[in-house]
Amino acid sequence: MRSERWLVATLAAAALGLFGCNLGGQTGTEATPPATRNEQPGGERSADDHALGAQCDSESSLVDADDAEALGFSAEDVLAIAKGAHEASLAWRDPASFEAFGATGTFGPEEKDSRITLTITHTDGEVRLVQFTPKQQPDAGDNGTTDITMDSVCPPARLEIDVWVRLETRGGALDESFMAVLAASGPFVATLNHSLAREDIDGSFAVELSDAPPGEKITVGPVDVQASFYAGGMAGTLFSFIELQSEQVSSRSAFEYAHWPADDPCVQSLLTPAGVGGLPVSVEASFDGVTAAAVLTELETLSGVPVTWSDSSETQASLAVSAPAGTACLLTGDASPAPDGAALLRIPVDIVLETEDGRVDAALAGTVDVASTAQSDPVTLSMAATQLCDSDDAAAECGWPDVDADGYDALRVDLSLETTEPASASTISGTLTLAGITVSDCTDEPVPVPDDDVGGASPGCAGEQQTEIESGAIGAP
């Protein structure tokens, strides 16, 4: 192995943001704030709706709380998940300060670990079915109309329910009551988006700005509450948009004050950017008739799995899968990689893979995705793991002890498997690959320049390059 060191991480398959609103970084990141809906008291639009407002029309109609005809689930199904009191651990940003556009900010009075309670009440609040369609614009060619966007970019149809919300934090920073809207595009998760004007907050929460650069106006917006409710509990975040206005520039950045639950292997937030995305649920919780615990039992030990190497030699492998966190992650909507944002379970797992011929004895961190029966019958399980190794003995670190890693800066292992339930050695299939990585120091070499004549690039710095060392097809030939 070469002597230089570089960033090493163990990767799991990633998902998109937790609530469909991608909060920006602390400074200078453009983001779109949730916009208050004027036609209903206390109602909000999600950030996705705001961003797509120029592309999609919406149509809203009143429906009964028990009406499941349009979407296959009713407001009563949503309220069964969301109504009542929900309590969770709350992690405030530590330290309780930030820098944005040259100004310094502090907030409080709560710090570090706390608790949050959200209580949802519904009596006679409206229930609406909201459907989205692409906007039309005149077509100059035939004086007709044409879609300016495709159906796929519009939000899915959803139910919206007017509810009363009570929000409390243990230290008294927030002690609020307000009308809001629960939204659900599927039967598993209900979301709430609400903006609290800072001057109207009944609790003791406060933000102070200082040291703003001369000639620039920096303001902190309302405290935005984003929460998701589901059978396994609730998760959410508290944040504000910080805005800069000057004669030369106008910009906006999102700053997160806190998120809940505090210790969550699924969470992807400004405080804890690691994670696989989604909403944390117990492995014992039932999802469309399937539990993560049952899936893990099937995958706990699999032996006799056929492997055919790229050199045509054959062996068998054993797999052992466990979930040390004891938590699965429910992904829906934009967070879900499934078609049309269908719900799925993603389980953070540890995977031990060993081949009988001794080539591989690897311990990997990865994920198992469980598709719902609505997507696949029988249920499909997808497993993925990636590991990078750059120690002085990277081959052993990656679990390929006999591989010659000389000349590489690092090694990379990729595992991709799929099986149907019930999982067995005869149903599992996929690939296992080991690649060597070389990294050129582009600070001392020119960057390749595109050559339009040949569609390639002129000689220059190669950057990072991967070379396959060994690979195997897993499953019966």
278, amino acid identity: G
| Residue 270 domain-assigned (yes or no) | yes
φ, ψ for residue 322 (rounded to 5)? -140, 160
Q: How far apart are the first and last CA of the chain?
A: 35
Residues of the chain short of pLDDT 50, as ranges, are 1-48, 50-51, 147, 149-152, 269-275, 454-455, 457
Domain end marker among 275, 305, 330: 275
Token reading at 209: 């700005």
- Whether 271 and 291 share a structural domain: no
- Matching residue, tokens 């997160």: 256
Please tell me the total count of domains within the chain. Answer: 2
The model carries a pTM of: 0.65
pLDDT of residue 46: 47
- Whether 237 and 192 share a structural domain: yes
pLDDT of residue 445: 54
- Whether 109 and 46 share a structural domain: yes
Q: Which helix (H) or strand (E) covers residue 108, if one does?
A: strand 103-108
| Residue 8 domain-assigned (yes or no) | no
| Residue 238 domain-assigned (yes or no) | yes
- Whether 271 and 303 share a structural domain: no
Strands 314-322 and 302-309: antiparallel
- Whether 126 and 230 share a structural domain: yes
| Residue 134 domain-assigned (yes or no) | yes
pLDDT in tens, 359-391: 999 999 888 988 766 555 667 889 999 889 987
Q: What is the DSSP string of 329-392?
A: EEE-GGG--SGGG--EEEEEEEEEEEETTSS-EEEEEEEEEEE-TTT-SSPEEEEEEEEEE-ST
The span from the CA of 431 to the CA of 163, in Å, is 49
pLDDT of residue 186: 86
Domain encompassing residue 233: 17-275
Q: Which helix (H) or strand (E) covers residue 60, if one does?
A: strand 56-62
pLDDT of residue 449: 54
Where does 183-284 have alpha helices with state H?
none
| Residue 371 domain-assigned (yes or no) | yes
Domain end marker among 275, 296, 313: 275
pLDDT of residue 447: 53
Strands 450-451 and 97-100: unpaired
pLDDT of residue 97: 83
The span from the CA of 471 to the CA of 415, in Å, is 10
Contacts of 252 (CB under 8 A, 6+ apart): 24, 29, 30, 31, 33, 241, 242, 243, 244
